[in-house]
């Protein structure tokens, strides 16, 4: 198996040898840095779309009681192999109300033509729909339920996803948002948005 350079942990490939679990990259590192700064010891934290479990592991190392959730069974297996407590499920659906002080999400944000069909887990992990917000909007409309009253959400998006539109959508669903940190790359700017309940 290939070794993940950043985490030094094995990755999972499907029967064709194709990588099938999203591995840490620049976006993961940016979100992890922002998340570590937000963590206080004992905080209950959720990493949505955990993939390899990298961000959840960073949360745990910073002192949080962290859990990951992912729809992909391959991602759940790899995250567990990497020492992350993981639940298989869709976004925040598996969890009870008021469960978390911090929820983080590095969603699929690449705008994808409507005719593109997902035929493997990696495409599902990367494809953000026509506007890059295929999972961003459902997440923002549901995350408030699992968030403690004074909890916060960290969401990574791209300039390709229109961060201002994402902030506006969060506001329509009871979330005050702001740009927390950003990082420029050749074809996009990665932005971590912070939300709290109004």
Per residue in 83-122, pLDDT (tens digit) is 999 999 999 999 999 999 999 999 987 767 666 555 555 5
Alpha carbon 75 to its chain centroid, in Å, reads 12
CATH number at residue 102: 3.40.50.150
Domain that holds residue 78: 26-197
- Which of the residues in the chain have pLDDT under 70? 1-19, 22, 24, 111, 113-129, 132
- Residue 135 has a pLDDT of 87
Q: Is the pTM of this model over 0.75?
A: yes
User: What is the number of structural domains in the chain?
Assistant: 1
Are 50 and 80 in contact by the 8 Å Cβ rule? The answer is: no
In a domain, 7, yes or no: no
Which tokens is 18 given? 């194709």
């Amino acid at each position: 198996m290939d070794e993940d350079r950043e985490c030094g942990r094995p990755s999972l490939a499907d029967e064709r040898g194709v990588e099938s679990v999203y591995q840490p990259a620049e976006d993961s590192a940016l979100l992890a840095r922002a998340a570590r700064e937000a963590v206080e010891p004992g905080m209950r934290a959720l990493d949505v779309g955990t993939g390899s479990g990298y961000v959840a592991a960073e949360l745990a190392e910073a002192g949080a009681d962290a859990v990951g959730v992912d729809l992909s069974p391959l991602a759940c297996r790899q995250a567990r192999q990497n020492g992350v407590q993981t639940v298989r499920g869709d976004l925040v659906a598996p969890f009870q109300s008021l469960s978390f002080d911090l929820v983080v999400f590095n969603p699929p944000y690449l705008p994808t033509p409507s005719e593109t069909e997902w035929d493997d887990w990696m495409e599902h992990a990367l494809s953000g729909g026509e506007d890059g917000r295929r999972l961003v909007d459902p997440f923002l409309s549901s995350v408030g339920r699992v968030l403690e009253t004074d909890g916060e959400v960290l969401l990574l998006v791209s300039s390709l996803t229109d961060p201002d539109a994402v902030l506006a959508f969060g506001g329509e669903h009871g979330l005050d948002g702001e740009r927390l940190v950003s990082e420029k790359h050749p074809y996009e700017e990665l932005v971590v948005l912070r939300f709290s309940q109004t």
